[in-house]
Amino acid sequence: MFAAGYELNPITDYVWEISPSGGMRVPGRIYSSRKMIEKYLQTDESVKQVVNVAHLPGIQKYSLAMPDIHWGYGFPIGGVAATDIEEGVISPGGVGYDINCGVRLIRTQLNLDQTEKRLQKLIENLFQSIPTGVGSSGAIHKQSPKEIKKILQKGSSWAVENGFGEATDLQFTEENGCLSQANPEVVSPRAIERGQDQAGTLGSGNHFLEIQVVDQIFDEKAAEIFGLFSGQITVSIHTGSRGLGYQICDDYLKILVKAIPRYGISLPDRQLACAPIQSPEGRDYLGAMAAAANFAWNNRQIIMSLAHKSFVKTLNMNSRDLGFELVYDVCHNVAKIEEHQIGDVRKKVCVHRKGATRAFPPQSSQLPIRYQPVGQPVLVPGDMGRYSFVAVGTQQAMEDTFGSTCHGAGRVQSRHQAIKSGRGMDLIKELKQRGVIIQAKGMKTIAEEMPYAYKDVADVVDVMHHAGISGKVARLRPLAVIKG
- The catalytic residues are 407
Contact 67, 35 (CB under 8 A): no
Judged by DSSP in three states, 59 sits in strand
CA-closest candidate to residue 30, choices 42, 48, 18: 18
Q: Which residues contact 442 (CB under 8 A, 6 or more apart)?
A: none
CA-closest candidate to residue 215, choices 378, 81, 390: 390
Q: Which DSSP category does 203 fall into?
A: B
Q: Which DSSP category does 74 fall into?
A: S
CA gap 50, 194 in Å, rounded? 32
User: Exposure of 424 by Cβ count < 10 A (0-12 exposed, 13-18 middle, 19+ buried)?
Assistant: exposed
Strands (E), 71-217: 77-84, 89-90, 102-111, 208-217
User: Exposure of 112 by Cβ count < 10 A (0-12 exposed, 13-18 middle, 19+ buried)?
Assistant: middle
Mark 363-397 as b/e (b = at least 16 C-beta within 10 Å).
Answer: ebeebeeebbebbbbbbbbbbbbbbbbbbbbbebb
CA-closest candidate to residue 397, choices 382, 366, 380, 375: 375
